[in-house]
Amino acid sequence: MTTRRVKGETVGSIMKNEFLAVSDELTIEETIKHFRTASLEKVSKPSYIYVIDSRGLLVGVVQMRDLLSHAPGVHVRDIMLKNVVKVHAEMDQEEVVRYFIRHRFLALPVINNEQKLVGIITADEMVDIAELEAEDDIAKIVGTGVDEITSRSIPRIVRLRLPWLAVSIVGGFVSAFILGWFERDMKSVIALAIFIPIVLGLSESIGMQSSTIVVRNMALGRATFKDVRWLLQKEMFVGIIVGLICGVFVGGAACLWQANANLGAVLFISMSMSIILSGVIGSCLPFLFRMFKIDPALSSGPIVLATCDIITLLIYFRVSGFFLSSQ
């Protein structure tokens, strides 16, 4: 039976203690003889041989095939790679996943505070952990917890969902307040209310798309604080193009349907602006959460949706007030 990993575990708690390690004083011939007496559990591991010195410090790594391509009398220290990619036992497992994605090794050595080799972590284990991290991010994005995936308890599922639904309720109340604030505008131009679902739906979609992509890139180590400027520029360019296309289509359709050029202009401008801002919001919130040591995945889902709704409604009615005030 496979043991389900727990999010937030350190490498030291999940590493394997069976690994291939030899002294840097041994020759290739002595190393091969040593492995003939090693346990099956050790030799069945990925074909990396870790080299340690007399104090047990990790000083190099040799691949199994290297033993066959050199003379028996050569010392392993003479053929080992000295710049070893390694992880610390106290490192979070999510961070180690990024190491495997970046370096694509079959296994990585684990060291302690004294730089001594204490275990290995394999790619197979990292695949399980990456799946768990992905499940956790997806669960947070849709407004629940990873525990719901395996939970059979209805009360527990309700407790996991209610906090995020509360965020949606608060966002809904704020949106309702904005609608009430601009009630007179809607009464004067009834068509404004007709197009609210379209405007909100597009901005929410853009915000969720941007946020989800950033969160997954963060989880894979592909998005850091130094990438903020590039991501914002990218989302602005994408938002401008998508906003113009959607604005022209919806604004043009509204103009023809309602025979109201000003209404078409309102939809074109407000949709373009809200789509651009929603993309920026979706990209920025994960970084803002990480800055305050909060899981970036929490910024997706209900929080992004509520924020995009509020910003979009404010833009929509401000623009409509400018263009339709004379009607």
Structural domains present in the chain: 11-128 (3.10.580.10), 171-324 (1.10.357.20)
Cβ within 8 Å of residue 38, ≥6 positions away: 20
Strand-pairing partners, residue 62, are 49
Q: pLDDT, tens digit, for every residue of 25-34?
A: 888 888 888 7
Cβ within 8 Å of residue 35, ≥6 positions away: 20, 42, 43
Helices (H), 151-227: 154-181, 183-188, 191-194, 196-219
Torsion of CA 62, 67, 70, 73, to 10 degrees: 100
pLDDT, residue 136, reads: 66
Q: By C-alpha distance, which of 11, 142, 24 is closest to 87? A: 11
pLDDT, residue 1, reads: 36
Strand 107-111: give its sheet, edge to edge: 87-88, 107-111, 117-122
H or E segment at 227? none
Q: pLDDT, tens digit, for every residue of 77-128?
A: 898 888 888 888 888 877 777 777 777 777 888 888 888 888 888 877 777 7
Q: Which two tokens stand for residue 266?
A: 């309102």
pLDDT, residue 46, reads: 56
Mean pLDDT by 10 residues, the chain (327 residues): 52 80 87 73 64 88 83 88 86 77 79 87 75 64 57 69 73 81 69 81 84 75 68 79 84 83 84 86 83 71 84 86 65
